[in-house]
Amino acid sequence: MSAPRLRRVLSVCLLLALTAISAKAAANFSLSASPTSRTIVAASSTTYTITVSKSGGFSGVVSFTTSGLPVGATASFSPATVTGSGTTTMTVSTSSATPGANSTVTVTGTSGSLGRTTSVTLIVRSFSLSASPASQTVTQGVATGPYTITVTPANGTKKPRARVPAVSLMAARACARYGDPGLRELLSN
């Protein structure tokens, strides 16, 4: 084979090899989460959608792990893996031992030597609130019956329930402003 022909053949082989290497190097993926924050009461669960987005012809299998969960919390993924691109649902379950706190949970997706992360916020409350009655009709200038707000510990403690007067300060000020003289006098003291 002549030298010029050999150079052309080698150039073509080198070009094909570089093209294959750059195509393989460009195969990648990223992770995102929706929603980015959830608030729950201890001893309950919530879900996040984790999305795998591919680029450069990525077709690998992505598996998932978490870090940063609070004490007593666990995470599971359904499906456990995503091939190429797609979504998985991450379910975070808390126990009665999970303390009330804000936690940043890092989700890591791994495929071969590639690892990508995204973060979500998990807000765990150690109490729940309920109101009774659920609603009332209010007529301007006429007092309504009270609301009862019940604060219930969520982590299994035996603390008594606290009852809070129902009319919020903002609602009381609005009533006083629109003609309830007794309430106006009470708020001015």
User: Where residue 126 falls among pLDDT bands split at 50, 70, 90?
Assistant: confident
- Helices (H), strands (E): how many in the chain? 3, 12
Q: Report, as an integer, the average pLDDT of 141-152.
A: 77
20-36 confidence digits (pLDDT tens): 555 555 899 999 999 99
What residues contact residue 74 under an 8 Å CB cut-off, 6+ apart?
92, 93
Phi, psi of 6, rounded to the nearest 5 degrees: -60, -40
Are 49 and 77 within 8 A, CB to CB?
Answer: no
Per-residue CA distances from 129 to 78, 123, 125, 147, 148 (Å): 31, 15, 10, 12, 10
